[in-house]
Amino acid sequence: MRLLALTSLGLALATMAGASELRPRQAHSLDLGPVRGSAYYTIEKDGLRVVATLAPTDSAAATPLRVVTTLASDQVVSFSVPGTRDGAAASVAFSRRGDRVEVASTGF
């Protein structure tokens, strides 16, 4: 029983360690390995509007991609980049918790 409790605590701390809170209208850098960019959110009447702009790092001529979504309470949206044959995939997730947005990233 004690081992199960310690394992659960360790998993919770590991999950929280990769998460941070976004602030309204303040850019947050995103690094998905071969894709980088930034994200921010605004407060709208129908929810929290998250805007993420991403572009490949290996081509200065590449056109960036912008993704826009409005999160209602307790909704999550995530983006991922497939891993290479020898590497893990990278992902970033935006979670709405009440009146705030958290961002968590994995794999890079």
If residue 94 lies in a helix (H) or strand (E), which one and from where to where? strand 90-97
**59 has a pLDDT exceeding 50:** yes
**Residues 90/105, Cβ–Cβ less than 8 Å:** yes
- Residue 70 in tokens: 């409005």
Taking residues 73-77, report their average pLDDT: 95
Beta bridge partners of 101: 22, 96
Q: How far apart are CA 96 and CA 47, in angstroms?
A: 9
Q: Label residue 101 by pLDDT band (50, 70, 90).
A: very high
More confident residue, 9 or 92: 92
Task: Compute the mean pLDDT over every residue in the chain, rounded to the nearest whole number.
Answer: 82
Phi, psi for 2 (deg, rounded to 5): -65, -40
More confident residue, 8 or 1: 1
pLDDT of 6-55, one tens digit each? 333 333 333 334 688 989 999 999 998 888 999 999 999 999 999 999 99
Alpha carbon 43 to its chain's center: 18
User: Other C-beta atoms within 10 Å of 57: how many?
Assistant: 13
The pLDDT of residue 108 is 61
